[in-house]
Amino acid sequence: MRYRTRLTAPAAALLGTAAATTLAPSAHAASGSTSRAASGTEAAAPGPETLGDPVYPSLGNDGYRVAAYHLDLAYDATTKLVDGEATLRIRTTQALSRLSLDALGLDIRAVRVGGRTATFETVDEKLRITPARSLPADTGTTICVEYGADPRRALTHTAWVPTADGFAVCPQPNSAHTVFPCNDHPVDKADFTFRITVPNGLRGVASGTLVRTETLDGDRTAYSYRSRSPIATELVQITVGDYVVKDRQGPNGLPLRDVVPVARAEALEPALALTPGLVAWLEQRLGAYPFETYGLLPCNSDDPAAFDFTGLETQTLTLYKPNYLLQAERFIGSHMMHELVHSYFGNSVSPGTWADLWLNEGHADFYGLLYRYERGWTDSLGLTTMEARMKNTYARGDQWRRTSGPVAAPNEANLFDSQRYLGGVLVLYALREFVGEATFGAIERTFLDRYRNASATTENYISVASEIAGQDLSGFLRDWLYGTTTPRMPNHPDWTVTPVTTSLLAPKSRTAGHHDNSATL
């Protein structure tokens, strides 16, 4: 049995030491600058303002990688505004005359690169930075951006969730850069430290572990947090409000902490008390929980439009709509498992591109449904077994492939369709039927171990599956993931796919960024 220990060291110097992060082999192509840099012949040029994501092609920036972020935010309860300073420690991958960060809706006041004042401009959702001197390839430096933010500002998309007493953030998939300037793509994970200054009586909380509390002049308190593991920008959580932090013990010494609205703490306790059992069940299947702590953040807002999903897997602290958690266990346990699974698939192992979202959502629904059926709870269709639900899903296969694309080939409009959730479950179910339960379990654990604290692609998963199964599964899995028609289900020759008709092809209404297509709800 593995026991965990709390982090007890004091807050380290700014940004600390970045954890070594191994990117998935196919997630990033190097710029080819290494040999030129070694010979000293590479000319500095502006860094590309994209990482080439197939779903969000304008997201992210190339020419450097971020090792660490330090976010220093101060909330003013009177104006409800935020003053921020983001310090990024980066390493260049090519010689740069200019580089860019993703940023939207931020009032940029000053930028420094390596301690020197830099010129800057904002264009669309990019903050273009021209340092006083060009940056050589393979060189480390810091970027410091001073800015202001209004959590209530109307934007084309935003991560801010304003509340009566402060705010929370929901960055997924492409909105972290409305909260802080960043390289906003899950492939560029980094270490994070946070310092959140709030008026006395409010609490500032962030992903990771509390390492310092400071009493400041002007009746203010600063809370500092540090994450032990790298975080993708879309998974950062920062919240301010009238919260109480409730600590409890999880399995094998895991510290659990929930951040709960003071006025609802007692009413929410039955839901919060479910977490240790959920963690224990999942650890038996996927191995030890991958981070230093876990807990829930029922956001202090009853606005149904505050955010467009029930729960979001921000790292170490899952964001929820509070009223959802007031229901009986049989109505919430399956989805609580879904969000917990994201600590493994999505957080510990992040998607190499947004086209790989099925790895997150398919796995979360797969284990969330298994948990539901093991507990004897019926699902939203009144079904009680995984086999029955998969037979029902299988019948919809061709329809979903026509209206939402293949499982691993989404676009921005259909990214969060059911095809990424239940469609992903169907792929995993087919794989388990084909290789057997023991081999399937070995594939899952090997994939998680190999890409822990990194990013991985669909091709990486196919490669691991083939390796562990001892046979080439690329054809089998690519048919399921990229085919335009639904393959035959192993061990179920009697299952049939409903033919696609004109009525089934009628356009359906979609809400951009809508996350509530999970079968665990």
- The Cα 80–Cα 265 span in angstroms is 24
Antiparallel, parallel or unpaired: β 160-163 and 296-298: unpaired
Question: In the chain, what is the straight-line distance between the N-terminal and C-terminal CA atoms, in Å?
Answer: 33
Q: Mean pLDDT over residues 1-22, rounded?
A: 34
Burial of 385 (0-12, 13-18, 19+ CB in 10 A): exposed
- The Cα 156–Cα 379 span in angstroms is 35
pLDDT at 183 over 80: yes
- The Cα 417–Cα 341 span in angstroms is 19
pLDDT at 503: 64
pLDDT at 155 over 70: yes
Is residue 333 within 8 A of residue 327, CB to CB? The reply is no
pLDDT at 307: 82
Burial of 240 (0-12, 13-18, 19+ CB in 10 A): buried
Is residue 268 within 8 A of residue 322, CB to CB? The reply is yes
Using 50, 70 and 90 to split pLDDT, how confident is the model at 182? very high
Buried b (16+ CB within 10 A) or exposed e, 51-60: bebebbeebb
pLDDT at 28 over 80: no
Contacts of 159-164 with CB under 8 Å at 24 or more apart are 161/299, 161/301, 161/306, 161/307, 161/319, 162/80, 162/301, 162/306, 163/241, 163/299, 163/300, 163/301, 163/306, 164/300, 164/301
Using 50, 70 and 90 to split pLDDT, how confident is the model at 515? low
Q: What is the pLDDT of residues 211-255, one digit of tens each?
A: 999 999 999 999 999 999 999 999 999 999 999 999 999 999 999
pLDDT at 12 over 50: no
Using 50, 70 and 90 to split pLDDT, how confident is the model at 41? low
> What average pLDDT is seen over the chain?
91
pLDDT at 319 over 50: yes
- The Cα 475–Cα 481 span in angstroms is 10
- The Cα 342–Cα 415 span in angstroms is 17
- The Cα 410–Cα 481 span in angstroms is 11
pLDDT at 14: 39
Concatenating the DSSP letter of every residue in 366-384 gives: HHHHHHHHHTT---TTS--
CB atoms within 10 A of CB 498: 13
Q: What is the pLDDT of residues 88-147, one digit of tens each?
A: 999 999 999 999 999 999 999 999 999 999 999 999 999 999 999 999 999 999 999 999
Q: What is the pLDDT of residues 337-357, one digit of tens each?
A: 999 999 999 999 999 999 999
Q: Mean pLDDT over residues 47-60, rounded?
A: 98
pLDDT at 42: 79
Using 50, 70 and 90 to split pLDDT, how confident is the model at 304? confident
Among candidates 150, 132, 152, which has minimal Cα distance to 84? Answer: 150
Give residue for tokens 């082999």.
25
Antiparallel, parallel or unpaired: β 349-351 and 209-216: unpaired
Strand, coil or helix: what is 413? coil
- The Cα 338–Cα 424 span in angstroms is 13
Q: Mean pLDDT over residues 509-517, rounded?
A: 57
Using 50, 70 and 90 to split pLDDT, how confident is the model at 505? low
Looking at the whole model, is its pTM more than 0.85?
yes
Give residue for tokens 């929930």.
258
